[in-house]
């Protein structure tokens, strides 16, 4: 027999704000690395599909093949959805750091590191040493 005091209650995973905050921190730390990686994976898939390195203005990533089209769509989603989400989350993390004294140092460190990494990722994509971003955006 189970006593009414001993019954287990189900808890929603969203009742734990620290775990949700940890997922948000992981997102803002990973996104600056995932974005350039998505560009280069699309380019690499184009290489394996075509048999030669894709060329800007000649080999459109949307029409090379199915795998390249899938990666192109995912990378475009990262640009169109992931980047604005990143831009909204960053001020929210800073606001949370302002309110939460106990996690302030960690939140400021995560925000600062992810902001600097995003600047580095944007600079790397602007530098474009292999012409990948030019090929992708063409």
State mean pLDDT over 15-40.
86
- Please state, in angstroms and rounded to a whole number, the distance separating the CA atoms of residues 69 and 77: 12
Distance CA 118, CA 113 (A): 9
Spatial neighbors of 65 by CB under 8 A, at least 6 apart, are: 45, 46, 49
What is the mean pLDDT of the segment spanning 12-34?
A: 79
**Cα–Cα dist 49/110, whole Å:** 38
pTM of the full structure? 0.81
pLDDT tens-digit series, residues 32-75: 999 999 999 999 999 999 999 999 889 998 889 888 999 999 99
């Amino acid at each position: 027999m189970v006593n009414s005091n001993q019954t287990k209650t189900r808890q929603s995973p969203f009742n734990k704000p620290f775990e949700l905050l940890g997922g948000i921190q992981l997102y803002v730390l990973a996104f600056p690395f995932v974005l350039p990686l998505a560009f280069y994976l699309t380019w690499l898939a184009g290489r394996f599909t075509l048999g030669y390195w894709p060329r800007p203005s000649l080999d459109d990533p949307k029409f090379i093949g199915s795998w390249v089209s899938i990666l192109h769509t995912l990378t475009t989603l990262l640009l169109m959805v992931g980047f604005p989400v990143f831009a909204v989350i960053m001020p929210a993390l800073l606001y949370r750091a302002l309110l939460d004294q106990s996690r302030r140092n960690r939140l400021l460190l995560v925000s600062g590191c992810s902001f600097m990494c995003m600047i580095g990722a944007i600079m790397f994509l602007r530098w474009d040493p292999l012409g990948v971003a030019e090929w992708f955006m063409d």
